[in-house]
Amino acid sequence: MFDIKIFEGGEIELHGRLDASQVDKADEVLAHVDKSTTINLKNLEYISSAGLGVLLAHQKRLKSIGHALKLIGPNKHVKDILTLTGFDQVFEIE
Amino acid sequence: MQRIFKRKISSLSQIFNFVNEILNKYNVNESASFSIILAIEELFTNMVKYNIYTDSDISISIEKNGAKIVVIMIDYNVEKFDIRKSGEIDITKSIHERKVGSLGLHLVKKMVDDLDYKYINGESRITFTKILEQIDV
């Protein structure tokens, strides 16, 4: 089960499990982001390379127009994945 | 325990249920479970995405062997592709140089303890093991 929510003020929250069968849902929402935005990962239980690919694609798009995504609150497992893939070099992570 | 899954990304939810059921039965801890599930998803989606000239189902078996979990995934009627020889990715590249994709096999290699590949008569057989910590034994 995966869900993505946008809050007033623009912060985005990812919930549940972002696997290859759920990436379209994330991509659809992130495609509307056109300025620097924080993505809260505190309720994201799992992410695979498909989910990482969506985040990276939108980070590249936003960086090309002078903006960026910032990731906050990943659990230990998600943080490990972000580190193992070098995402800590291309995203600000808190 | 072995189960056969349809070659489509939407099989993932059934795969996760199957894997979780077995890992719970073996009392595998959260950290090892995360690695095993992630490796299975990456390998399965790789088979679905790149072995496009077959509609054969994909087999997944999971067993506990002493202090390790052994997973065997078999893709039938496919070309040879030894995943161990897939190119390394450079995770230190800048955002502009990074490619979207190719992270899956990189993660598999990082998350499992042993990775083996055999190709016989059109059958790709990937075996990986995850060593369990003492608490799981």
From chain A, pick out residues whose CB is under 8 angstroms from the CB of B14.
none
From chain A, pick out residues whose CB is under 8 angstroms from the CB of B37.
46
From chain B, pick out residues whose CB is under 8 angstroms from the CB of A65.
none
From chain A, pick out residues whose CB is under 8 angstroms from the CB of B38.
46, 48, 81
pLDDT tens-digit map of B103-127: 999 999 999 999 999 999 999 999 9
Whether A50 sits inside 8 A of B94 (CB atoms) is: no
Whether A60 sits inside 8 A of B38 (CB atoms) is: no
Question: Which residues 6+ apart lie within 8 Å of B81 measured at CB?
Answer: B50, B51, B124
From chain A, pick out residues whose CB is under 8 angstroms from the CB of B98.
56, 60, 86, 90
**H or E element, residue B46:** helix B30-50
Question: From 3.40.120.10, 3.20.20.80, 3.40.50.360, 3.30.750.24, which CATH number describes the A2-93 domain?
Answer: 3.30.750.24
**Nearest residue of A to residue B10, measured between CA atoms:** A21
Confidence (pLDDT) at B135: 53
- Kindly provide the residue ranges of all beta strands, DSSP E only, lying in B66-122, ordered along the sequence: 68-76, 114-120
For tokens 């059958």, name the residue: B123
Count chain A–chain B contacts defined by CB atoms under 8 A: 67
| Residues B19/B22/B25/B28 CA torsion (nearest 10 deg) | -50
Given CATH 3.30.565.10, say whether it is the number of domain B2-136.
yes
CA distances from B27 to A81, B64, B110, B131 (A): 23, 10, 22, 13
Name the packing angle between helices B103-111 and A76-84 (round to 10°).
120
**pLDDT > 90: percent of chain B:** 80
For tokens 């994709």, name the residue: B101
Q: Is B29 helix (H, G, I), strand (E, B) or coil?
A: coil
pLDDT band at B137 (very low <50, low <70, confident <90, very high): very low
- The C-alpha atoms of residue B17 and residue B70 are separated, in whole angstroms, by 17
Intervals of chain A under pLDDT 50: none
Q: For A49-88, b where at least 16 C-beta lie within 10 A, e where not — what string?
A: bbbbbbbbbbbeebbeeeebbebebbbebbbbbbebbbbe
Q: How far is CA B79 from the centre of its chain?
A: 18
pLDDT tens-digit map of B45-89: 999 999 988 899 999 999 999 999 999 999 999 999 999 988 788
pLDDT tens-digit map of B15-36: 999 999 999 999 999 999 999 9
**Nearest residue of B to residue A53, measured between CA atoms:** B100
For tokens 């998350």, name the residue: B111
**Nearest residue of B to residue A57, measured between CA atoms:** B100
How far B63 CA lies from chain A's nearest CA (Å)? 23
Q: Give the angle subtended at the CA of A86 by the CAs of A38 and A72, to the nearest 5°.
A: 20
**Interface predicted TM-score (ipTM) of this complex, two decimals:** 0.93
Yes or no: say if B83 and B115 are a contact pair by the CB < 8 Å rule: yes
